[in-house]
Chain A
């Protein structure tokens, strides 16, 4: 069965510093991987996805994620955090043959000025 783990409930980082939000996954085959963000009082928004090809995926708002097949990870990164990046981030996975997307529990990111 598919599963997604976000090992950190919360990540704290100072503005201007690099940030990483971790995600590991488990699927029976090759995965589709996604990151979504939920800002306070706003709906979930798509950030980026990995389907195939280049392991480094670039997305919205300067975020990127690195797919690592051997470690079954898809960590979200940004070189320089902004206070406005503070939000709840969800990693999600779907296997190529499936239709159901499984979401992680979410990681709350706090960026301090």
Chain B
């Protein structure tokens, strides 16, 4: 079946511009996560959504970062006024539920380069 998809796969933007990254989770998965992977670094948790509950935004690094999930499915991560330190691979994952030990299924990521 279809996995998690993300778009665009690559994004190059100028410092100060806003960007939107999209994630389509696996159909039926109620939990959705965003992570950031910087070169040579592990995965940094950004935000997660579980069903209709309020999202856990505790990992967002600044108020320039925001995310929404429409209709319990597609999610968009928005970075305003991008900075060079925002350059990274942004990964989206979904799972059957965040309320148990379900494994996460990851998308291929969006590589963001801020020039």
A101–B33 CB distance below 8 A = yes
Interface string of A92-109 (1 = CB under 8 A from B): 001000011111111000
CB distance from B30 to the nearest CB of A (A): 12
Residues of B within 8 A of A (CB): 4, 31, 33, 35, 41-43, 45, 48, 50, 56, 58-59, 91, 93, 98-99, 101, 103-109
The interface centre, meaning the residue of B42, B59, B109 with most chain A CB atoms within 10 A of its CB, is B42
The distance in angstroms between the C-alpha atoms of A51 and B43, with both chains bound, is 21
Which chain A positions have C-beta within 8 A of B99?
Answer: 99
A105–B41 CB distance below 8 A = yes
The distance in angstroms between the C-alpha atoms of A6 and B41, with both chains bound, is 12
The distance in angstroms between the C-alpha atoms of A40 and B14, with both chains bound, is 27
The distance in angstroms between the C-alpha atoms of A6 and B50, with both chains bound, is 28
A43–B108 CB distance below 8 A = yes
Residues of A within 8 A of B (CB): 6, 32, 34, 36, 42-46, 49, 51, 90, 94, 99-106
CB distance from B111 to the nearest CB of A (A): 11
Partner of A46, one of B4, B58, B105: B105
Partner of A105, one of B42, B45, B58, B59: B42
A94–B58 CB distance below 8 A = no
Which chain B positions have C-beta within 8 A of A106?
Answer: 41-43
A99–B56 CB distance below 8 A = yes
Partner of B48, one of A42, A90, A99: A99
B91–A44 CB distance below 8 A = yes
A100–B58 CB distance below 8 A = yes
